[in-house]
Amino acid sequence: MTYHGRFAPSPTGRLHFGSLVAALGSWLRARAEDGTWIVRIEDVDRTREIPGSADDILVTLAAFGLVSDEPVVRQSDRGTFYDDALQRLVDTGLAFACRCTRGDLAAHGGLHRGDCVTAGDATRTPAWRMRMPTGTITFDDAVFGRLAQDPSLAAGDVVLRRADGCWAYQLAVVVDDAAQGITEVVRGADLLDSTPRQIALQRALGLPTPAWMHLPLALDAQGRKLSKHDLARPVDAGDPLPALRDALVFLGQPVPCRTTVTELLHDAVAAFRVDAIPARLPADAALRKD
């Protein structure tokens, strides 16, 4: 089977070192497997989008030699596919309308589990949730090994569409990874917690489950994840080599002695070793080693 990988940034700011690590890691893995690599812009949450950042991210990636093998897909164009998926889950009785507010759920640990805690205000547009099946979900991660979580306890009934009409990341990512034939998801370890939820959704929708590979997170001096949102310092598209070399070091890879982006990437693919990537589980990860 041909390897199909992806990098799926949200356009919430400029590309910083943490997102460069995810982009480079997923690209190296795809190239080392002789596969294809695509970029998908995850712009379902219009409230967090920074105008212009999707294009800025694509231009910056290109300066780092990372160019999508297929036309870039934007999730904002794909609402009908998410609608179909939601409808299928409604038809099979797995999805339901929910008018619980965050305040309602606060007394329940913030999680929605099973029945709604309130009938809610019938005039209010509902969110749509999927009833999370109980039981442990186990998966093999190429960096972290076998991990396990019961998503009904860790996450509860997952939101598919928010009350404000925005599609939820969890539904959109699962629909698109399947539609784009992604064979392995490579991304930051902050999303490890989401993986069991996504496997549950894939099963409910009858979609294939890809392989998984999560990358260690770049943290700031206070030990917090770098995020575009917090205005972490963007990488310099005008001088890509230093950040590319730093990203290779961060991923435990050797740094080829090369002075152009193309040559550096070429040699980095040849030297790429998954077992050299440091397996640092985020302190707040709600999964256990199995």
Interface positions with ligand GLU (CB under 6 A): 8-10, 42, 173, 187, 191
**At 236, is the secondary structure helix, strand, or coil?**
coil
Q: How far is the CB of 91 from ligand GLU (least distance, A)?
A: 26
Instruction: Give the residue with the Cβ less far from ligand GLU, 21 or 100.
Output: 21
- Say which residues have a Cβ less than 8 Å from residue 99's Cβ, sequence separation at least 6: 116, 118, 119, 120, 121, 122, 124, 126, 127, 163
Instruction: Give the residue with the Cβ less far from ligand GLU, 53 or 100.
Output: 53
Q: How far is the CB of 16 from ligand GLU (least distance, A)?
A: 11
Instruction: Give the residue with the Cβ less far from ligand GLU, 24 or 98.
Output: 24
Q: How far is the CB of 186 from ligand GLU (least distance, A)?
A: 8
Q: How far is the CB of 254 from ligand GLU (least distance, A)?
A: 26
The Cα–Cα gap between 167 and 219 comes to: 29
Q: Of 8, 4, 39, which is closest to residue 173 (Cα–Cα)?
A: 8
Q: Of 104, 153, 105, 159, which is closest to residue 127 (Cα–Cα)?
A: 159
- For residue 48, which amino acid is it? R
Instruction: Give the residue with the Cβ less far from ligand GLU, 5 or 156.
Output: 5
Q: How far is the CB of 107 from ligand GLU (least distance, A)?
A: 30
Instruction: Give the residue with the Cβ less far from ligand GLU, 130 or 191.
Output: 191
Edge-to-edge strand ranges of the sheet holding 36-41: 4-7, 36-41, 73-74
